[in-house]
Amino acid sequence: MAKIKVKFACTECGTESPKWMGKCPGCGAWNTMVEETETVVRAPVGRTEAIRTKEKARSIIDIESGREPRISTGLTELNRVLGGGLVPGSLLLVGGDPGIGKSTLLLQTSNQLASQGLKVLYVSGEESVRQTKLRADRLGALSDRLFVLCETNLDFIEEAVAEADPDFLVIDSIQTVYRPDVPSAPGSVAQVRECTAQFMRISKGNGVATVLVGHVTKEGAIAGPRLLEHMVDCVLYFEGERHHSYRLLRAVKNRFGSTNEIGIFDMTEDGLREVTNPSELFLSERPLGVSGSSVVASMEGTRPVLVELQALVSPTHFPSPRRMTSGIDHHRMSLVIAVLEKRMGMFMQNQDAYVNVAGGVKLDEPAADLAAAVSIASSFKDLPTKPYDVIFGEVGLTGEVRAVSRAEQRVKEAHKLGFKRVILPEQSLKGWQPPDGIRLIGVKTVAEALKAALE
């Protein structure tokens, strides 16, 4: 017997409720609960059918192990984020703000794969075939192995995939695709869930590497149910500042590689250009000999990146001083300021403090603590920092400087860019030999670091 069931689902996070609510209980968004209907088929009472599987359970020792084959995308930065290249049969989800360059990146990747002799099918549900051709002309992505289709009906897309038999499939975007047998509008929770499940079956069954483009909410998360991110093999976020030309590709989930790697691209008139030396890009506009500015060596996966960390400390006329950060954790900044007040005797309760990572980069590792402390102290005392110093280290609550990982790679990156000194934790000096031409200053406390950096 078939029964019509009515439920309400949140368009932001996918939380389901039997009744309508003004505020979603899952994510707290207002006016996002929409009505959905589904047909529930119940088997007659007393009749049960056994579910049989084709494969039997095997001992993990008897299973042959081997490395997954990889397909190079032709873009070094994208290969790094994916863990070495595309895995056949994998399902990827790419999210990002509107106009950030997701379609441009995937069209360039499709062209690179087509130029290697692979067959690529690019399905666009938001642009016509002629619009896609105009973008391809601008990017120079013209290949007879690259096929373009403008379709949103899932049944027709399946027929096109079966006919073309591609090696690489792009769906732009998953929110525009719909299944005719699902009684919901395109982009709804039910449609996104069912269409993604069908593309997963196509990808795994045919060995086609498939990329789904997903819209994002105003908070920056991928729209739709959270189940969407659990179903795919890899979740990539393409992000960047509107006022900067470069873009960051970051993996938040990857079953075939690390989630700490980032890829950096520069948006130009001819498309996205790979940035092979991001440190030089982030330090290109750095002022020399000013207070409140320091250079920190951060690790993004296995890649060391040097960025400028700026601080501004100014008197406030309000009873509660302001603490604002951009690109660094607000709580880490409060910790550093508390250490400077308690251990260094800097009275900052009547001072506003602003910390910014130049270029819109986000630093999420404790190694930036020491550089933040030096920048804040430099601005508070109005003493300029040394222009050719690189600083990194974790700051503890007692004012000690703790060791961080991969100190050798950070120092080599600083030496490659022409820096003369590196202020780092003393414990990080053990077990490796520094390159010639650069001086290393090991410190145990914040007081020693400030003395070396500001005097």
Lowest mean per-residue pLDDT among 131-140, 227-236, 440-449 = 227-236
Whichever domain contains 392, its CATH number is: 3.30.230.10
- For every residue of 10-41, DSSP letters joined together read ETTT--EESS--SB-TTT--BS-EEEEEEEEE
Residue 103's SS3 state is helix
Find the helix or strand (DSSP H, E) in which 294 lies: strand 293-300
Task: Tell me if 56 is assigned to a ligand binding site.
Answer: no
Task: Tell me if 97 is assigned to a ligand binding site.
Answer: yes
* Final residue belonging to a domain, choices 247, 276, 305: 276
Rounded-to-10 torsion of CA 196, 198, 201, 205: -130
Task: Tell me if 103 is assigned to a ligand binding site.
Answer: yes
Q: Is 55 part of a structural domain of the chain?
A: no
Instruction: Please give the tally of structural domains in the chain.
Output: 3
Does 31 share its domain with 82?
no
Task: Tell me if 233 is assigned to a ligand binding site.
Answer: no
Task: Tell me if 125 is assigned to a ligand binding site.
Answer: no
Predicted confidence at residue 181, as pLDDT, reads: 87
| Residue appearing with tokens 């007879």 | 144
pLDDT(44) > 60: no
Lowest mean per-residue pLDDT among 9-23, 76-90, 414-428 = 9-23
Lowest mean per-residue pLDDT among 39-53, 75-89, 360-374, 376-390 = 39-53
Predicted confidence at residue 40, as pLDDT, reads: 53
* Percentage, residues of the chain above pLDDT 90: 58
Binned at pLDDT 50, 70 and 90, residue 246 comes out as confident
Choice between 55 and 187, residue whose per-residue pLDDT is larger: 187
pLDDT(352) > 80: yes
Token pair for residue 72? Answer: 């190079």
Does 202 share its domain with 320?
no
How many residues comprise the chain?
A: 455
Distance CA 359, CA 246 (A): 9
Distance CA 312, CA 352 (A): 8
Choice between 152 and 57, residue whose per-residue pLDDT is larger: 152
Predicted confidence at residue 134, as pLDDT, reads: 93
Token pair for residue 329? Answer: 């954790």
Q: Is 70 part of a structural domain of the chain?
A: no
Kindly report the three-state secondary structure assignment for every residue of 218-244: CCCCECCCCHHHHHCCEEEEEECCCCC
pLDDT(349) > 70: yes
Mean pLDDT on 365-379: 95
Structural domain boundaries enclosing 261: 76-276
Distance CA 194, CA 191 (A): 5
Task: Tell me if 291 is assigned to a ligand binding site.
Answer: no
Does 373 share its domain with 263?
no
Give φ, ψ of 354 to 5 degrees: -130, 130
* Final residue belonging to a domain, choices 248, 276, 304: 276
Mean pLDDT on 439-455: 94
* Final residue belonging to a domain, choices 276, 295, 310: 276
Instruction: Report the half-sphere exposure of 251 (CA within 13 A, side-chain side).
Output: 25
Q: Is 71 part of a structural domain of the chain?
A: no
Q: Is 212 part of a structural domain of the chain?
A: yes
pLDDT(244) > 80: no
Task: Tell me if 66 is assigned to a ligand binding site.
Answer: no
Predicted confidence at residue 39, as pLDDT, reads: 59
Predicted confidence at residue 260, as pLDDT, reads: 77
pLDDT(229) > 90: no
Binned at pLDDT 50, 70 and 90, residue 383 comes out as very high
Does 23 share its domain with 113?
no
Binned at pLDDT 50, 70 and 90, residue 46 comes out as very low
Task: Tell me if 304 is assigned to a ligand binding site.
Answer: no
Whichever domain contains 97, its CATH number is: 3.40.50.300
Does 240 share its domain with 114?
yes
Q: Is 57 part of a structural domain of the chain?
A: no
Would you give the end-to-end CA distance of the chain in angstroms? 83
Binned at pLDDT 50, 70 and 90, residue 43 comes out as very low
Does 311 share its domain with 396?
yes
Chain segment 96-128, per-residue pLDDT in tens: 888 889 999 999 999 999 999 999 999 999 899
Q: Is 56 part of a structural domain of the chain?
A: no
Q: Is 426 part of a structural domain of the chain?
A: yes
Chain segment 130-144, per-residue pLDDT in tens: 999 999 999 998 899
Lowest mean per-residue pLDDT among 2-6, 50-54, 107-111, 406-410 = 50-54
Does 270 share its domain with 286?
no
CA distances from 266 to 57, 98, 104, 272 (A): 49, 17, 12, 5
Does 271 share its domain with 366?
no
Does 438 share its domain with 399?
yes
Predicted confidence at residue 51, as pLDDT, reads: 41
Does 101 share its domain with 206?
yes
Predicted confidence at residue 25, as pLDDT, reads: 87
* Percentage, residues of the chain above pLDDT 70: 93
Given a contact cutoff of 8 angstroms between Cβ atoms, the answer to whether 311 and 346 are in contact is no
Predicted confidence at residue 11, as pLDDT, reads: 74
Q: Is 130 part of a structural domain of the chain?
A: yes
Does 127 share its domain with 17?
no
Mean pLDDT of the chain: 88
Distance CA 422, CA 302 (A): 19
Does 37 share its domain with 139?
no
